[in-house]
């Protein structure tokens, strides 16, 4: 099946999503926080077994985090990215561990870098950062230059344009 | 892959490797011999940098593109050059990742990477770790220079440069559409063209150093690229209130020194300036020029003449709170901008936009009042605190002052008449004497009138200078030739041939000029008497230079110091009399943007004196 | 009396010995990159494993948001040290997808050639490491010495041996130097002749068979649902390759087949790499034959003022380790808004360890990592 057909079929079953076809083999689905698990479960069962990546984008102006689930179907050779918007003030969402076991690691990484809570994830301990006491660093309001100057006591480099 | 059957000999087969040559290269005793034709590392190796300091212009593009912020520009000790900044790049090899972007973007091609990759420093035996760290920091920050230029590795010839080297071409009216009307030739950029052209700029700032008025060129170009035309015009007005004019006819020294011009075509700074102004309504421009400034009544200043210098001085002084009155002898303000430059280059509407913006500040322009006749300069000295002279060079020179003939004309008078819309003498065959911009202006204007009157063009431009020495702008010469004007460069010493019976001009006899300037660059033309020819013409127009008219100075002419035929002033425009200042062509010229700069400096100097005396 | 061949774990269990912790890495000769596992051991078997990552964390994804589009290309090869070209190609591919750019044909073929050469260097290093991890050091040195010849070709073309920084949005930076093609043809002939030697010293070696058989078994279903890609997936029997399924560069104009193995253990993965050598050599030869004339890049203007229009795109490539993917979000400015890197070592290294390591002997951990081609820089970023 072509990606456009898959998107249309999904939209028929879940009328509350919005779909977009980016390329012949790549499409996007946007769904809200309350109902995204249904869409993910349906897609997984319709041959989108491969979860390539989960990542988050910080839309600070619109005050929301956008979680992206990057799915691939071996049968249809089609890539679909499911986007879920969650509010920035209270970023809590449920885990997809039951659908994809390795999602646990991706969620652990996102929790560490963005501060998003995943209910049901057994291990959200820090993976990469040791002794981190600032705000989650991938958020847009974290200024790396200001932090470096404060933490490492480096002076100004004069002259560089 | 399955396991082989058991084999007794198999382990002994490895002995054949005893006799094979090793792949190890015992560097530095042996040298690598991998690449054909060059021992050692590859011919495109990305090693330690080298920089040709004579070619480098210090633009800083390398510092901007460096991903690791490894390049810093430091002050340079050599001779300062025109069109170059006095700084050179220095590289911190603790940060450099050897990507080679700095070499690919270098605007002159002076920076390259060599095939050298070994840099040795001995660490001191000091027990102080901080000292050691600082010493290592020092020793690993190197200034690339000519060492290594003989052993180049990664370098970037011009076709591979990352910069955008081709200019967006400006549409112009083709010569068959423009040669019988005075409609403006240059059509102007569209929005996409302007944004693309503005994106070529690397913001080095060499243009700002070269501009006589010191305009903030990288800032206004970046504002155009950001689609913020209002911010762009605000930047322009900080130094030049005549940007509509300069955006059309400036001599653009900025473009001559533009960093991109070394390997490609310079950024079209003049057309971008025009683009930004054309997008704004005149109300926007007036608000930028500062109509709603709170002003306190400081001193009063009179300005004689409304050329670019006087208008600029009026704008800046008025913004600082002075009451300005301009006295202009002609019917409309503008000076040489209105009466000297033809409409196809600078339409009156553009000039009026600038003048209106200045008038809204409260500057009073009184036209048709000639100082020296309607009002005396001594009266001005009494009524005003300062007087600025901007009278320009209104008198045309002539080689034959005794010849008085109605078909022997001066270009400056004809240009004035044409711009006023008055009838001028146009004969079938015209010779224009002169090789500068004014000669091209009058030749092209007369060509248009000839085409309307006779249906064809017959104009010859005769100049002492050879084709390469012609002082006119290259674009002027090329467009003139497209419009049908024939050049005769390198001829002079003319004699006018008059018909004995009717006294009409029959022809002009000219002699080959072998030299215009001598070794000391003094004007000493030499001619070859054997090489003479005669051209058949009905009318001769001279465009060989202009002179000032100081008759209005009355008795002050004896008190003012002169330098040649110019008034002698200090660097701010003050003459030998404290209340008398001068700007524009009468102090030096030679073009509009220099006059604007004069006006700005004079305004600031006057204000310093007034504020200092409080 | 202890029988010499009784399993130490049995002894430890019977004696009721306590579990003890061992840091496997980051300072370990068998470790791939700066990364470690903290393993709880009974005897010489592992009871539980914990990941000790973050030693190579450089904050790339955050830095990429503060750099211009072209400047990021100096960071990107450092995400995978052994196989840097697919990363550059994926990043440039994602930008080209957003802009809707079609790069010139010659650039596509040159990209293909450098991608395959890079795959070959990675496999040589990977297989050499498998040899090294089992104690066959000759294999390691031989393969690394041969890999050097490929690195010489890269040095001739791009000026650098490991970090090429050769792909830019719009194509590649330089054209092929004179004589490069012929030398590469000669090199492919050389490698083809060397394959027999590799078979003798590595692939038909009884020690390798004994050590690698049965280590880290993955079934096809498990691989698909656990996000395992690349040779690890094909070794379980799934005939899938991104180069054919979602083509990029010039792969849709070349003919090659996809080898697979059935067992899904470490030996199958090693054998699959051996089969892929032949595929790689064939692809390089085809691409060199079909190389068209033309430009090598599209001029995109001043890199200091280069804007990518608003949009997002995901571009993925088949590297020697698995699927690398770059998701780029652009808001129309001169810097990216978000770049998310998908590396194959995250599911393999951080997740599969919990499935495979418990019960594995400590001697096999290095082997298991080498055959799965887990490389720390791409999940630490």
- What is the band of B1 on the pLDDT scale with cuts at 50, 70, 90? low
Q: Looking at the complex, does the CB of residue A144 fall below 8 Å from at least one CB of chain B? A: no
For the segment B599-609, the average pLDDT, to the nearest whole number, is: 89
Q: Is the pLDDT of residue C6 over 80?
A: no
- What is the band of C34 on the pLDDT scale with cuts at 50, 70, 90? confident
Which of C57, C225, C246 has its CB closest to that of A128? C57
B49-160 in CATH: which number? 3.30.70.20
Range in A42-51, B301-310, C31-40 the model is least confident about: C31-40
Provide the CB-side half-sphere exposure for C109 (13 A, CA).
20
Q: What is the pLDDT of residues C206-249, one digit of tens each?
A: 888 888 888 888 898 888 888 889 899 999 998 999 999 889 88
For the segment B89-118, the average pLDDT, to the nearest whole number, is: 90
Q: Is the pLDDT of residue C104 over 90?
A: yes
Which of B1, B42, B65 has its CB closest to that of C304? B65
Count of beta carbons in the 10 Å neighbourhood of residue A5:
11
Q: What is the pLDDT of residues A102-154, one digit of tens each?
A: 899 999 999 999 999 999 989 888 888 888 888 899 899 998 888 888 888 76
B166-280 in CATH: which number? 1.10.1060.10
Residues in B closer than 8 angstroms to C305, CB to CB, are 199-201, 225
Q: What ipTM was predicted for this assembly?
A: 0.92
What own/partner pairs with CB < 8 Å and gap ≥ 24 does A123-130 have? Answer: A126/C54, A127/C51, A127/C53, A127/C54, A127/C350, A128/C53, A128/C54, A128/C57, A128/C380, A129/C54, A129/C57, A130/C54
Q: Measuring CA to CA, how many Å separate C113 from each of A138, B387, B603, C145, C296?
A: 36, 76, 66, 21, 13
Instruction: Measure the CA angle with vertex B563, ends B559 and B569; round to 5°.
Output: 70
Among chain C residues, CA nearest to A56:
C340
Strands C311-318 and C323-330: antiparallel
Contact A160 B60 (CB under 8 A): no
Q: What is the mean pLDDT of chain B?
A: 85
What is the reported pTM? 0.89
Q: What's the confidence (pLDDT) of residue C289? A: 92
Return phi, psi of residue C214, to 5°.
80, 0
Q: What's the confidence (pLDDT) of residue B4? A: 63
Domain boundaries, chain B: 49-160, 166-280, 293-393+551-614, 395-546
8 Å CB contact between A80 and A97: no
Q: Is the pLDDT of residue C339 over 90?
A: yes
Q: Is the pLDDT of residue C2 over 60?
A: no
Q: Which residues, 6 or more positions from C44, have their beta carbon under 8 angstroms from its beta carbon?
A: C7, C8, C9, C361, C362, C363
Return phi, psi of residue A150, to 5°.
-75, -45
CATH of B395-546 given 3.50.50.60, 3.30.950.10, 3.60.40.10, 3.90.550.10: 3.50.50.60
Q: Does residue A56 or residue B492 have the better pLDDT? A: A56
Contact A74 C66 (CB under 8 A): no
Domains B49-160 and B395-546 share a fold: no
Return phi, psi of residue A82, to 5°.
-100, 125
For the segment B562-590, the average pLDDT, to the nearest whole number, is: 85
Contact A161 B64 (CB under 8 A): yes
Which of A53, A101, A127 has its CB closest to that of C54? A127
* Three-class HEC string of B183-218: CCCECCCCHHHHHHHHCCCCCCCHHHHHCCCCCCHH
Which of B23, B35, B199 has its CB closest to that of C156? B35
Closest approach of C1 to chain B, Cα-based (Å) = 35
Q: Is the pLDDT of residue B174 over 80?
A: no
Angle between helices B229-237 and B217-225 (to 10 degrees): 170
Structural domains of chain A, with CATH? 3-152 (3.30.460.80)
Q: Is the pLDDT of residue C371 over 90?
A: no
8 Å CB contact between A135 and A114: no
Q: What is the pLDDT of residues B410-420, one digit of tens each?
A: 888 888 888 88
Closest approach of B275 to chain A, Cα-based (Å) = 29
DSSP letter string over B233-272?
A: HHHHHTT-TTHHHHHHH---HHHHH-GGGGTSPPP-HHHH
Q: What's the confidence (pLDDT) of residue B11? A: 67
Structural domains of chain C, with CATH? 8-52 (no CATH), 60-380 (1.10.645.10)
8 Å CB contact between B496 and B508: yes
Contact A50 C314 (CB under 8 A): no
* CATH class of the domain at B293-393+551-614: alpha beta
Q: What is the pLDDT of residues B213-251, one digit of tens each?
A: 889 999 999 999 999 988 998 899 888 888 888 888 888
Distance in angstroms (rounded) separating the CA atoms of residues B178 and B124 = 76
For the segment B48-76, the average pLDDT, to the nearest whole number, is: 90
Residues in A closer than 8 angstroms to B71, CB to CB, are 160
For the segment C85-105, the average pLDDT, to the nearest whole number, is: 92
Q: Torsion angle, CA of C102/C104/C106/C110, rounded to 10 degrees?
A: -50
């Amino acid at each position: 099946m072509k990606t456009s057909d898959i998107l249309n079929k999904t939209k028929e079953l879940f009328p509350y999503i919005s779909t977009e076809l980016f390329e012949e083999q790549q499409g996007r689905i946007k769904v809200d926080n309350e109902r995204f698990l249904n869409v993910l479960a349906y897609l997984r069962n319709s041959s989108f077994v491969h979860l390539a990546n989960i990542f988050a984008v910080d839309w600070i102006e619109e005050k929301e985090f956008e979680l992206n689930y990057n799915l691939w179907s071996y049968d249809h050779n089609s890539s679909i990215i499911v986007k879920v918007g969650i509010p920035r003030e209270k970023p809590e969402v449920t885990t997809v561990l039951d659908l994809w076991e390795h999602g646990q690691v991706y969620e652990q990484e996102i929790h560490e870098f963005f501060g998003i809570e995943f209910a049901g994830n057994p291990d959200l301990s820090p993976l990469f950062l040791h002794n981190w006491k600032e705000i989650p660093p991938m958020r847009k309001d974290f200024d790396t230059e200001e932090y470096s100057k404060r933490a490492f006591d480096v002076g100004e480099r004069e002259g560089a344009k | 892959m399955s396991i082989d059957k058991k084999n007794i000999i198999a382990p002994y087969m490895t002995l054949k490797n005893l006799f094979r040559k090793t792949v190890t290269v015992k560097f530095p005793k042996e040298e690598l011999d991998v690449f054909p034709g060059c021992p050692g590392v590859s011919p495109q190796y990305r090693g330690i940098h080298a920089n040709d300091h004579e070619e480098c212009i210090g633009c800083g593009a390398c510092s901007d593109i460096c991903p690791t912020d490894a390049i810093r520009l430091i002050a340079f000790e050599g001779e300062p050059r025109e069109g170059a900044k006095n700084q050179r790049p220095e590289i911190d090899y603790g940060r450099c990742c050897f990507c080679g972007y700095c070499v690919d973007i270098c605007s002159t091609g002076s920076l390259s990477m060599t095939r050298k990759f070994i840099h040795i420093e001995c660490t001191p035996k000091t027990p102080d770790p901080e000292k050691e760290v600082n010493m290592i920091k020092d020793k690993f920050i190197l200034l690339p220079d000519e060492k290594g230029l003989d052993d180049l590795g990664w370098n970037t010839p011009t076709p591979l440069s990352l910069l955008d080297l081709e200019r967006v071409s400006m549409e112009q009216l083709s010569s068959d559409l423009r040669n019988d009307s005075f409609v403006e030739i240059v059509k102007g950029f569209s929005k996409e063209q302007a944004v693309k052209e503005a994106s070529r700029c690397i913001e080095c700032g060499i243009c700002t150093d070269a501009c006589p008025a010191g305009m903030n060129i990288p800032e206004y170009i970046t504002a155009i690229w950001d689609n913020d035309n209002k911010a762009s015009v605000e930047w322009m007005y900080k130094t030049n209130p005549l940007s509509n004019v300069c955006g059309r006819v400036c001599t653009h020294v900025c473009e001559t020194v533009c960093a991109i011009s070394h390997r490609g075509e310079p950024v079209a700074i003049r057309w971008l300036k025009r683009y930004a102004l054309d997008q704004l309504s005149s109300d926007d421009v007036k608000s930028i020029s500062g109509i709603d400034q709170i002003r306190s009544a400081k001193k009063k200043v009179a300005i004689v003449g409304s050329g670019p210098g006087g208008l600029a001085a009026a704008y800046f002084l008025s913004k600082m709170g002075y009451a300005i009155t301009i006295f202009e002898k002609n019917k409309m303000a503008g000076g040489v901008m209105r009466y000297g430059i033809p409409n196809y280059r600078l339409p009156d509407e553009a000039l009026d936009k600038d003048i209106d913006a200045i008038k809204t500040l409260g500057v009073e322009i009184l036209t048709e009042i000639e100082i020296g006749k309607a009002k005396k300069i001594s009266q001005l000295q009494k009524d005003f605190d300062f007087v600025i002279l901007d009278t320009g060079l209104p008198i045309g020179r002539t080689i034959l002052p005794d010849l008085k003939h109605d078909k022997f004309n001066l270009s400056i008078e004809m240009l004035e008449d044409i711009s006023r819309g008055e009838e001028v003498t146009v004969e079938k065959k015209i010779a224009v004497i002169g090789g500068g911009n004014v000669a091209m202006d009058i030749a092209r204007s007369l060509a248009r009138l000839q085409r309307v009157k006779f249906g064809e063009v017959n104009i010859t431009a005769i100049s002492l200078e050879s084709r390469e020495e012609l002082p006119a702008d290259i674009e002027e010469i090329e467009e003139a030739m497209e419009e049908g004007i024939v050049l005769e460069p390198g001829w002079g010493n003319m004699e006018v041939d008059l018909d004995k019976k009717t006294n009409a001009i029959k022809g002009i006899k000219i002699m080959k000029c072998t030299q215009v300037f001598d070794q000391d660059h003094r004007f000493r033309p030499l001619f070859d008497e054997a090489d003479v020819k005669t051209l058949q013409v009905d009318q001769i127009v001279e465009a060989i230079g202009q002179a000032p008219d100081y008759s209005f100075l009355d008795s002050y002419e004896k008190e003012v110091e002169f330098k040649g035929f110019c008034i002698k002033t200090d660097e701010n425009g003050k003459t030998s009399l404290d209340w008398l200042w001068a700007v524009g062509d009468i102090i030096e010229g030679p073009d509009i943007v220099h006059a604007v700069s004069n006006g700005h400096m004079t305004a600031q100097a006057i204000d310093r004196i007034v504020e200092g005396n409080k | 009396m202890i029988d010499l061949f009784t399993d130490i774990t049995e002894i430890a269990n019977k004696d009721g010995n306590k579990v003890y912790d061992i840091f496997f890495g980051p300072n370990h000769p068998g470790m791939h990159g700066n990364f470690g596992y903290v393993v709880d051991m009974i005897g010489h078997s592992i009871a539980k494993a914990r990941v000790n990552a973050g030693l190579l964390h450089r904050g790339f994804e955050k830095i990429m948001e503060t750099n211009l589009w072209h400047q990021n290309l100096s960071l990107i090869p450092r995400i995978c040290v052994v196989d840097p070209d697919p990363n550059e190609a994926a990043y440039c591919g994602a930008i080209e997808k957003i802009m809707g750019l079609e790069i010139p044909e010659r650039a596509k073929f040159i990209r293909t050639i450098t991608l395959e050469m890079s795959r070959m260097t990675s496999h040589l290093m990977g297989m050499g490491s498998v040899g090294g991890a089992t104690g066959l050091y000759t294999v390691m040195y031989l393969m690394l010495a041969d890999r050097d010849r490929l690195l010489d070709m890269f040095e001739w073309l791009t000026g650098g041996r490991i970090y090429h920084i050769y792909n830019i949005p719009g194509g590649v930076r330089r054209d092929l130097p004179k004589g490069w093609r012929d030398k590469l043809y000669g090199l492919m002939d050389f490698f083809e002749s060397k394959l027999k030697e590799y078979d003798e010293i590595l692939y038909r070696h009884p020690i390798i068979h004994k050590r690698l058989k049965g280590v880290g078994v993955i079934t096809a279903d498990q691989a698909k649902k656990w996000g395992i890609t690349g040779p690890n997936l094909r070794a379980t029997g799934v005939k899938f390759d991104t180069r054919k399924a979602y083509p990029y560069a010039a792969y849709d104009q070349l003919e090659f087949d996809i080898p697979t193995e059935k067992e899904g253990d470490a030996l199958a993965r090693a054998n699959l790499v051996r089969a892929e050598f032949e595929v790689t050599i064939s692809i390089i030869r085809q691409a060199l034959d079909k190389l068209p004339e033309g430009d090598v890049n599209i001029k995109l203007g001043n890199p200091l003022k280069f804007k990518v229009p608003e949009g997002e795109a995901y571009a993925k490539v088949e590297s020697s380790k698995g699927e690398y993917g770059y998701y780029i979000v652009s808001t129309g400015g001169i810097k990216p808004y978000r770049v998310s890197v998908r590396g194959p070592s995250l599911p393999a290294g951080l997740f599969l360890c919990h499935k495979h390591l418990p019960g594995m002997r400590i001697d096999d951990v290095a082997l298991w990592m080498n055959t799965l081609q887990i490389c720390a820089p791409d999940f630490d970023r």
